[in-house]
A and B are shown apart, each in its own frame.
Chain A
Amino acid sequence: MSYFRAENLSLHFGGLKAVDAVSFAVEKGEILSIIGPNGAGKSSIFNLISRIYRPTSGRIFFEDQDITDEPPYDIAKLGIARTFQNIELFENATVLSNLLVGRHRHSTTRLWQELLFLPSVRANEKVHRRRVEQVIELLDLEPYRDKLISGLPYGVRKVIELARALCSEPKLILLDEPSSGLNVEETDDMSFWIRDLKNELGITVLMVEHDMSLVNRVSDRVIALNYGRVLAMGSPAEVQQHPDVVAAYLGA
């Protein structure tokens, strides 16, 4: 059985088939990239997995459990974290509190305990704080801990989004265009970090990406989509030479 599986996943907006009977599987510990032209349905698949949209039909399985009908907040509790293409950070909070929100799925304290800030809450906060610090160290975010997001440059925000997802200690991470808006050096850093996720933290990565050099460097396998359908699946080299993929990008 695969680690993560989508079966005949469809999302229709009226007559528009944004995602049309897409099936794929992600093996534990691999980096799988989804590529495709604009409007191919890549981000829609992510939004289906994290339940921002409800699938028109099809099932999603994670660790042999059907998660199609789980509410959106439970998806994160299962260990699936994500980043957003257009950055959805908590703008008017500090970097530190943004990352601590990532720890939400591990919080066990009750409201009345928090009102009194009992020793148990304090102890938990310290654990959260230490985990967050480990992520900060991994992603070189030390200079920004107490800065407000609204004052930070785009490239840093992109890294903070990744950091926030990592703070939840996910098993599977969904990266929606991790390199969009980044310069060459920042993209290089990002590619090293994505490899690190897999090699050092053992996190499975599902990634949507346009930058083919990044895809080639990090992916184990690639899926090419167009008009909501799977065109090709396989190693990065295979997919890029597939005649349908070439046709989709360059025109027949």
Chain B
Amino acid sequence: MRFLFKTDYEDDIRLFPHSGYVVTYGVLLALLLIAPYVLSSYLMSQLVFVCIYATVGVALLILTGFTGQASLGHAAFLAIGAYTAAYLQKYNVPFPVYFLAAGALTGIVGALVGFPALRLTGIYLVIATISMALIVEEILARWESVTNGNEGMRIKTLSLLGVTVPRDSPTFYFLCLAVLVLTIVGTLNLLRSPTGRAFVAIRDSETAARSMGINVALYKVKSFAISAAITGFAGVLFAHKLSFISPEMFTLQLSIEFIIVILIGGTFSLHGAVLGAIFIVMIDPFLTYLKDDMPGIIAGIAATFGAGPATAGNIQSKVAAFASLNGLKGAIYGIIIVLFVLFEPLGLYGRWLKIKLFFQLFPLYKRATFKRQKIYVKSERNR
């Protein structure tokens, strides 16, 4: 085990508490940098989506995990970012400009959503953000002069400083990775300065935050704006990756996926956003794999247990019909969320910490070590 002896106030401020972190993250970064020259193009495409989802996950963590304001409307912020990019592209605006403009516009919309949200908490805030998302979805479908309605919009290939960057090129992956890393570093900086601490204070006790001189309303709006702006940046990359956007891509389902990202990853640490993003991006191909192969496997098992070819065929077609039921994916997502909330409220990152501690303390690990640490429960007093 490593014992940290702090000798300077700097030890409480620096991002990497000891050299072990520098090595770990250095190796991780190196692996990510050589990834495009090693992995298949399919996996690279998935990795780009992981970067985009993780960026949105970090944004949602700022709002939900650290400020305690739940949101089921982040698909709408993503849409605003994506459509801003698509619209400005029509006028040949260069990438850096529309990238920043998308973030700024989404941030402003986020702040505007933050104002009515000031008086709402808990489930009512969730309902308000869902309504916001539905309104945005409807506007995208109806405001045809700008958004081209339900026909959707085509996104031209990204051109950065005169160089075209196709959506499946390594450069585009590096761009997404850079946005993710910058977002994470910026968020970490925020969390170790007064604003980040004010967010956490609001999450845990608004009354106490107020009596410590924190303007709760202002910081809630700030949190909404920052979270929305980051999601807007991610939206631009999302649009480029898909190369075509239409309103039905930014539905409630997508917002729920973002919530799953942070719930499954873990709401108390930025690691959670990345782990959750890997989970949500990788579960799709996994489910497709199950859907394609599961009926055959089950029929095979049935055959080995003595079912005749007719019965086995019957079973296979029944399982296949079940696997292609509408809405099965949503049901599976729902079950996953329920299981995580019940059995692993700290998420994948919490599980990882437990595994790590198990080996650090071996053979002294006690199961009760994490008993007290639940995900945050807000004070019900003096609301």
Complex Cα–Cα for A121 and B194 (A): 9
B193 and A125 contacting across the interface, CB-CB below 8 Å: yes
**Interface: A199 (CB within 8 A):** no
B-facing mask of A116-153, CB < 8 A → 1, else 0?
A: 11000110011001100100000000000000101100
Of the candidates B204, B207, B213, the one whose C-beta lies within 8 Å of that of A76 is: B213
**Mind listing 26 A-B residue pairs with CB under 8 Å?**
A50-B211, A51-B210, A52-B210, A52-B382, A73-B213, A76-B212, A88-B207, A88-B211, A89-B205, A89-B208, A90-B203, A90-B204, A90-B208, A92-B204, A101-B212, A102-B212, A104-B197, A109-B193, A111-B195, A115-B189, A117-B192, A122-B13, A125-B193, A126-B13, A150-B373, A164-B212
Interface residues of A in 51-88 (CB under 8 A from B): 51-52, 71-77, 81-82, 84, 86, 88
- Shortest C-beta distance, A137 to chain B (Å), equals 13
A82 and B211 contacting across the interface, CB-CB below 8 Å: yes
Complex Cα–Cα for A102 and B197 (A): 10
Q: Which residue of A lies closest to B189 (CB)?
A: A117
A101 and B209 contacting across the interface, CB-CB below 8 Å: yes
A-facing mask of B92-125, CB < 8 A → 1, else 0?
A: 0000000000000000000000000000000000
Interface residues of B in 216-263 (CB under 8 A from A): 216, 222, 226
| A-side contacts of B12, CB under 8 Å | 96, 129
Of the candidates B13, B186, B189, B201, the one whose C-beta lies within 8 Å of that of A90 is: B201
Residues of B that sit less than 8 Å from A by CB: 9-10, 12-13, 186, 189-190, 192-198, 200-201, 203-205, 207-216, 222, 226, 268, 372-374, 376-377, 379, 381-382
- Contact (A121, B193) CB under 8 Å given A92-B204, A133-B9, A150-B372: yes
- Shortest C-beta distance, A89 to chain B (Å), equals 7
Complex Cα–Cα for A114 and B205 (A): 23
**Interface: A156 (CB within 8 A):** no
- Contact (A72, B210) CB under 8 Å given A129-B9, A133-B9: yes
Interface bracket on A: 35 or more
Complex Cα–Cα for A51 and B216 (A): 13
A105 and B189 contacting across the interface, CB-CB below 8 Å: no
Complex Cα–Cα for A91 and B202 (A): 11
Residues of A that sit less than 8 Å from B by CB: 50-52, 71-77, 81-82, 84, 86, 88-93, 96-97, 100-105, 107, 109, 111, 114-117, 121-122, 125-126, 129-130, 133, 148, 150-151, 164, 168
- Contact (A105, B372) CB under 8 Å given A90-B201, A93-B200, A111-B195: no
A168 and B212 contacting across the interface, CB-CB below 8 Å: yes
| B-side contacts of A125, CB under 8 Å | 9, 13, 192-193
Q: Helix, strand, loop or mixed for chain B's interface?
A: helix
- Indicate the member of B186, B197, B200, B381 with the most A CB atoms within 10 Å: B197
A151 and B372 contacting across the interface, CB-CB below 8 Å: yes
A73 and B215 contacting across the interface, CB-CB below 8 Å: yes
B186 and A115 contacting across the interface, CB-CB below 8 Å: yes
- Contact (A92, B211) CB under 8 Å given A114-B190, A125-B193: no
- Indicate the member of A105, A115, A130, A133 with the most B CB atoms within 10 Å: A115
B268 and A92 contacting across the interface, CB-CB below 8 Å: yes
A105 and B212 contacting across the interface, CB-CB below 8 Å: yes
The 6 A-B pairs with the shortest beta carbon distances in the complex, nearest first, are A76-B213, A107-B194, A90-B204, A88-B208, A105-B213, A114-B193
- Shortest C-beta distance, A205 to chain B (Å), equals 16
Complex Cα–Cα for A86 and B9 (A): 32
| A-side contacts of B212, CB under 8 Å | 76, 81, 101-102, 104-105, 164, 168
- Contact (A92, B376) CB under 8 Å given A72-B210, A77-B213: yes
B190 and A86 contacting across the interface, CB-CB below 8 Å: no
- Contact (A75, B211) CB under 8 Å given A91-B376, A104-B197, A129-B9: yes
| B-side contacts of A100, CB under 8 Å | 194, 197
| B-side contacts of A117, CB under 8 Å | 189, 192-193
Complex Cα–Cα for A81 and B190 (A): 25
| B-side contacts of A84, CB under 8 Å | 207-208, 211
A148 and B211 contacting across the interface, CB-CB below 8 Å: no
Complex Cα–Cα for A81 and B212 (A): 7
Complex Cα–Cα for A164 and B211 (A): 11
Q: Which residue of B lies closest to A84 (CB)?
A: B208
Complex Cα–Cα for A135 and B338 (A): 44
Of the candidates A89, A114, A116, A129, the one whose C-beta lies within 8 Å of that of B195 is: A114
| A-side contacts of B195, CB under 8 Å | 111, 114
Q: Which residue of B lies closest to A98 (CB)?
A: B201
B201 and A101 contacting across the interface, CB-CB below 8 Å: yes
